[in-house]
Amino acid sequence: MKKSKPRYRAGSIADGQKFMAIPLLLWSIMFILLPLAVVLYNAFLDPSGGFSLDAFRKVFSSDGIYLHLLLSSLWLAVESTLICLLLGYPLAYILSRHASASVMILVFILPMWMNFLLRTYSWLAILGKNGILNSLFSLIGLPGINILNTRPAVVLGMIYNFLPFMVLPIYNSLNKIDPSLIEASGDLGASEGKTFLKVVLPLSIPGVYSGISMVFLPAVTTFVIPSLLGGGKVDMIGNIIESQFLKTNNWAFGSALSLILMVLIFAFMKATSKYNTEENERGGLI
């Protein structure tokens, strides 16, 4: 006869709770992993049902249309991210030192509660040939501009939509800096500029990294902004993927492009992961 066990061991109940992850496991297999497997399968499928590398060959083909498109999408996203960083860091800094910072942040994220397609669409009325901006320009005697349906309009749309994703993580990391560190730096004789460069900036780098990934990732994959503000003239990789599935029905090519996009994103995540601790990943979103 075994020794009578206590009703439970410390931790044994907690161990039993790990089975609560099973529903998630099943759901994830069914609706996350299996769909990705289907994309993978489709990418290597030829129309007759056999194995083929044609889709990938098409992407990297010698005429280079799609490779060029891929690179120009990446470049457009990089450009937008950099401008967001240049605009967003000073703003985050100003906000973090503002007397009523929490109210200002609220005012800052409020626009995100309006449907983003509609907000983006609204730029058409501002940027259009007879739009608000040109009317204002002609009032003060400036020549009109016509950037709608061009690359700059798409970049502007990206900045407009994604700037908060850059500002919030940076603001959070600036906010976490212990004010006594800044005082100490001043007490030890550093000028304000030096304190910023040597204390504040290095401590805010995690926020910068998290902001960069939160802007770059949606920017490189969007097809809505180029489609609304680029008027079909500024295609990004997302637009090509969309049309493969919904217009030309070339699933193999669309799947191949999607997989390439995914690989690029994981490479990017890997490169920036050093700074993306769990805490930072959340920081920006909520």
Partner 1 sequence: MKKFLSALGAFLSRFYMIIIFIFLYAPIILLMVFSFNEGRSTSVFTGFSLRWYVELFHDSQIMDALYYTVLTAVVSSLVAAVVGTISAIGISRLKGWQRNSMVNVANLPIINPDILTGVSLMLLFILMKMPLGLGTMMIAHITFNIPYVILSVLPHMRQMDPHLYEAAMDLGASPSQAFFKVIIPELMPGIISGTLLAFTMSIDDFIISFFTTGNGISNLSIVVYSMAKRGIKPSINALSTIMFLTVLILLVVVNLIGKSGRKAKKPSRQPVRSLI
Residues in region 197-256 near partner 1 by CB under 8 A: 217-218, 220-221, 223-224, 228, 238, 241-242, 245-246, 251, 254-255
Q: What is the largest CA-CA distance in the chain?
A: 99
Region near partner 1 per CB under 8 A, out of 11-19, 52-60, 64-72, 198-206: 11-19
Residue 36 token pair: 């990705």
Torsion sign across C-alpha atoms 245, 251, 257, 259: positive
Residues 157-186 as x/- pattern, contact with partner 1 by CB under 8 A = ---x--x----x--xx--xx----------
| Identity of the residue, 62 or 93, whose beta carbon is nearer to partner 1 in the bound complex | 93
Q: Which member of 47, 64, 90, 202 binds partner 1 (CB under 8 A)? A: 90
Task: Please report how close the Cβ of residue 62 comes to partner 1 at its closest, in angstroms.
Answer: 27
Region near partner 1 per CB under 8 A, out of 55-63, 65-73, 204-212, 278-286: 278-286
CA-CA-CA-CA torsion for 240, 83, 148, 239, nearest 10 degrees? 10
Nearest to 207 by CA among 166, 255, 260, 236: 166
Q: Give the DSSP letter of residue 31.
A: I
Residue 59 token pair: 């992407």
CA 109 to chain centre: 16
Q: Give the DSSP letter of residue 64.
A: -
Q: Interface residues for partner 1 in 27-66 (CB under 8 A)?
A: 27-28, 31-36, 38-39, 42
| Identity of the residue, 62 or 130, whose beta carbon is nearer to partner 1 in the bound complex | 130
